[in-house]
C-alpha cells in the first residue's frame, strides 16, 4: 500500500492578508506526501533539497512516516525557494520570486526497490521529468498527475507525451480550458480524456471539484470555509488525499473515485486552515472521516 | 397555491456565439412565471407592457396558465427592450442597449383579489417598487426577492429597507460580495442575513448554488451542460423553479428548501438549452423530476 510521490520540496515565503511566514517547508511533494500519509504508509518521496534544508523540515516529513531514501540532498546547493503574496480575497496570488536552485537540475532517480510500487503521484513538475519517473517504474497500476499553465503553454508537446502514460489528470478549471482549447468544462474534460487519462479531475477552488470519466460526472462541493488562512498547497493536498484513499482501498471503481475526490477535498480544506504545512501536521484519521461526513451533509438532499 | 410574481416583461434582442434573436419575449417576470408555472397554478403576473407587445408573447404566458389581470398594457407606449451580446465562453455579456420605455414609470398595482396571496416573488426591479408591492400585500408568508449590482450600488439604502421585509434573497456571488463587503461567501451570507432575509441563496453560474440559513449550508451542483445556447433568464428561471416548488409544497423546512434549490437549478438548466423562453415552453413535470434525479446522481456519494 505504499505510494511513490515525486515533486518539489521547497522553502516558501508566503504573505496573506492574515500574516506571513518565511522559508516555511513546502513544495508539491511535501504537501502530497503529508496528505497521503494519513491513508497509507509508508510514502516514498522522491525529490531534491540543498544543504540548507532545515532539520525541522526533515523532522516534519519523518514524523508523517514519509520515507526519504529518494530525497537527494545536495550539500553545497540551496533548496528551491518560492515566494508569493495573496490578495484580499485569496483567489489570486502574485509570485514574488522563484529561485529554482538545486531543483533546476533535478533528475529524479527512483531507488531500485521502489520501482515496483503500484501507485504513483507525479507532482507539478516538468513533464519531461514526470515521464522519466514513469520510465523507471515497473508497470504502475495507478498514475495520478498534476500540471499547470506554465507547462501547458511552454512544453505542450512534452506534456502530451506524458499524458499518454497516466490514468488520472488533476488540474484546475483555467488549466483545463487552456489545455483543451474548450471553455465548457464538460467538453474540456472530454477533449483531455482523448489525450490519455481516463479520469479527469477539475479543481474549481472555492467552488469544489468535478470528476469526469467516460460514464460519470460527479460534482464535489467545496467545504464552506469561513476562515482560510493560506491557500498554499491546497491543490497538492487534494492530490495527496485523493491518491492516499485510492492506495488505501486499491479500488478504482467509480463509486470509490468519488470518495477519493471527497477525501482530497477534505485534506485541502484542512490545509488552508493554517499556514504552510501546519494544517496537515496533526490530523487524525477520525477527524478526516468526520469531515468526509460533513461534505456528505453539505451536498445531500432527498426526494420528496 | 397561487404565486404572485412582479417584475419586468420585456422584448430581448440577444446575440450569442450560436445565433441571435430579435425582440424575443423576455423579462424577469416572464421567466419567473413560466418556470413556476410547472409547479403551481395559476401564477398571477404583475408588470407592464406597451401596445407593441406581440400577441405571441401573450399567448406564451396564457398557455402556461399565467393570469395576466395584473399586466398593465399602455396602448400608446412601447415595451421595455433589452439587447445584449454574450462572449465566447458565455460567462460574460455586454449590454448593448436598455430602453426602459413604459417600464420607466412602472407603478405596480396589485389587483384587490390577489392581495391575500401568500407566496410572492419579487423579480429584479427597483427596491422601492419591490417594497411598494409588499405594502399592498396582506401578510404574505414567503417573500422571495432577487436584486442586482445596479441596485446594490445605486439604491443601497432603499434596498436595505426592502431586505427587512423579505424571507429569501437570491443573488449571485459577485452581488453577495458587493452587498456584504465580504469576499468569503459563507461570511457574506451571514452578513446579509443580519439585513433581513433568513435564507440567502448565492448563485454561482456554472458552479451551482449555495443555500445558507442559520443552521444549514447546502451546496447544489451545477448541471453538467455541454451545450448552453443562451444564458438569458437562467437566474429568473432558478427563482421561478425555487418559488414554484415552495408554493406547491407549502413547506419551508430546511430539507425542502434544499429540494427547492435543486428544482430552481433544474429549471435554469432547461432555460439555457434553448434561446430566450423557448427552453421553458414545452416541459413536463415528469421531465423536471427526471432532471431533479440527475442532480442527485451528480452529487451523490456513499460512505465506504
The structural domains of chain A, ordered by start, are: 3-299 (3.40.1190.20)
Does the beta carbon of B89 lie under 8 angstroms from any beta carbon of chain A? yes
Measured between CA atoms, how close is B173 to chain A, in angstroms?
Answer: 11
Check residue A17 and give its pLDDT.
86
**Arithmetic mean of pLDDT over chain B:** 95
For residue B122, what is its C-alpha cell? 419579487
Q: Is the pLDDT of residue B250 over 90?
A: yes
User: Which residues is B11 bridged to in the sheet?
Assistant: B25, B81
Q: Helices B127-136 and B156-163 meet at what angle, rounded to 10?
A: 30
**Angle at B299 (CA atoms; ends A190, B180), nearest 5 degrees:** 105
Per-10-residue mean pLDDT for chain A, 304 residues long?
Answer: 95 92 96 98 97 96 96 97 87 89 95 96 97 97 96 97 98 96 94 98 94 96 89 96 97 97 98 94 96 96 84
User: Which residues is A15 bridged to in the sheet?
Assistant: A20, A85
**Which residue in A187, A224, A293 is closest to B217 by CB distance?**
A224
Check residue A211 and give its pLDDT.
98
H/E stretch holding B83 reads strand B80-86
Check residue B281 and give its pLDDT.
95
H/E stretch holding B146 reads strand B142-146
**Which residue in B218, B226, B258 is closest to A186 by CB distance?**
B226
Check residue B153 and give its pLDDT.
95
Q: What is the 8-class DSSP label of residue B151? A: H
Mean pLDDT calculated for residue range B77-98: 89
CA distances, B163 to each of A180, B105, B106, B145, B202 (Å): 43, 22, 20, 8, 15
Does the beta carbon of B207 lie under 8 angstroms from any beta carbon of chain A? yes
3-state SS record for chain A: CCEEEECCCEEEEEEECCEEEEEEEECHHHHHHHHHCCCCCCEEEEEEEECCCCHHHHHHHHHCCEEEEEEEEECCCCCEEEEEEECCCCCCEEEEEEECHHHHHCCCCCCHHHCCCCEEEECCCCHHHHHHHHHHCCCCCEEEEECCHHHHHHCHHHHHHHHCCCCEEEEEHHHHHHHHCCCCHHHHHHHHHCCCCCEEEEECHHHCEEEECCCCEEEECCCCCCCCCCCCCHHHHHHHHHHHHHHHHCCCCHHHHHHHHHHHHHHHHHHCCCCHHHHHCCCCHHHHHHHHHHHHHHHCCCCC
B2: closest CA among B115, B163, B170, B112? B115
Q: What is the pLDDT of residues B15-64, one digit of tens each?
A: 998 889 999 999 999 999 999 999 999 999 999 999 999 999 999 999 99
The reply to whether the predicted model has a pTM over 0.80 is yes
Place of cell 469531515: A291
Sign of CA dihedral A36, A37, A39, A40: positive
Place of cell 488520472: A168
Check residue B93 and give its pLDDT.
86
Strands B43-50, B93-99: pairing is unpaired
Q: What is the distance between the alpha carbons of residues B112 and A17, in angstroms, rounded to a whole number?
A: 55
Does the beta carbon of B102 lie under 8 angstroms from any beta carbon of chain A? no
User: Which residues is A63 bridged to in the sheet?
Assistant: none
Measured between CA atoms, how close is A64 to chain B, in angstroms?
Answer: 24
Check residue B1 and give its pLDDT.
77
Sequence-separated (6 or more) residues with CB below 8 Å from residue A249: A256, A259, B304
Residues of A in contact with B89 (CB under 8 A): 177, 183-184
For residue A81, what is its C-alpha cell? 525557494
B144: closest CA among B29, B39, B49? B29
- State what percent of residues in chain B have pLDDT above 70: 100
Strands B142-146, B168-172: pairing is parallel
Residues A233 and A200 sit within 8 Å (Cβ to Cβ):
no
For residue B217, what is its C-alpha cell? 449550508
Measured between CA atoms, how close is A303 to chain B, in angstroms?
Answer: 7
Measured between CA atoms, how close is A104 to chain B, in angstroms?
Answer: 37
Say which range, B70-79, B201-210, B223-232, B271-280, has the weakest mean pLDDT. Answer: B223-232
Strands B209-212, A168-172: pairing is unpaired
Strands A19-26, A10-16: pairing is antiparallel
Does the beta carbon of B222 lie under 8 angstroms from any beta carbon of chain A? yes
Check residue A91 and give its pLDDT.
74
Amino acid at each position: 500500500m505504499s505510494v511513490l510521490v515525486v515533486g518539489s520540496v521547497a522553502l516558501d515565503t508566503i504573505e496573506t492578508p492574515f500574516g506571513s511566514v518565511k522559508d516555511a517547508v513546502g513544495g508539491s511533494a511535501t504537501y502530497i506526501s503529508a496528505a497521503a500519509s494519513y491513508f497509507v504508509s509508508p510514502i516514498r518521496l522522491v525529490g531534491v533539497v540543498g544543504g540548507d534544508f532545515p532539520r525541522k523540515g526533515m523532522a516534519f516529513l519523518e514524523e508523517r512516516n514519509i520515507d526519504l531514501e529518494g530525497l537527494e540532498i545536495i550539500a553545497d546547493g540551496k533548496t528551491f525557494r518560492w515566494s508569493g503574496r495573496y490578495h484580499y480575497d485569496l483567489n489570486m496570488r502574485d509570485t514574488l520570486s522563484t529561485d529554482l536552485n538545486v531543483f533546476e537540475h533535478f533528475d529524479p532517480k527512483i531507488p531500485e526497490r521502489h520501482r515496483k510500487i503500484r501507485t504513483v503521484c507525479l507532482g507539478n513538475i516538468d513533464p519531461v521529468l514526470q515521464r522519466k519517473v514513469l520510465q523507471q517504474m515497473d508497470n504502475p497500476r495507478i498514475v495520478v498527475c498534476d500540471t499547470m499553465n506554465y507547462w501547458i503553454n511552454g512544453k505542450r508537446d512534452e506534456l502530451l507525451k506524458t499524458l499518454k502514460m497516466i490514468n488520472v489528470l488533476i488540474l484546475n478549471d483555467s488549466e483545463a480550458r487552456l489545455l483543451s482549447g474548450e471553455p465548457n468544462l464538460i467538453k474540456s474534460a472530454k477533449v483531455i480524456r482523448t489525450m490519455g487519462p481516463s479520469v479527469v479531475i477539475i479543481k474549481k477552488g472555492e467552488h469544489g471539484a468535478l470528476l469526469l470519466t467516460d460514464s460519470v460526472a460527479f460534482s464535489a462541493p467545496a467545504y464552506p470555509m469561513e476562515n482560510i488562512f493560506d491557500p498554499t498547497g491546497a491543490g497538492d493536498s487534494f492530490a495527496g488525499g485523493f491518491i492516499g484513499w485510492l492506495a488505501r482501498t486499491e479500488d478504482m471503481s467509480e463509486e470509490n473515485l468519488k470518495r477519493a475526490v471527497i477525501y482530497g477535498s477534505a485534506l485541502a480544506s484542512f490545509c488552508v486552515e493554517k499556514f504552510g504545512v501546519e494544517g496537515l501536521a496533526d490530523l487524525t484519521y477520525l477527524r478526516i472521516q468526520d469531515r468526509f461526513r460533513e461534505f456528505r451533509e453539505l451536498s445531500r438532499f432527498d426526494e420528496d
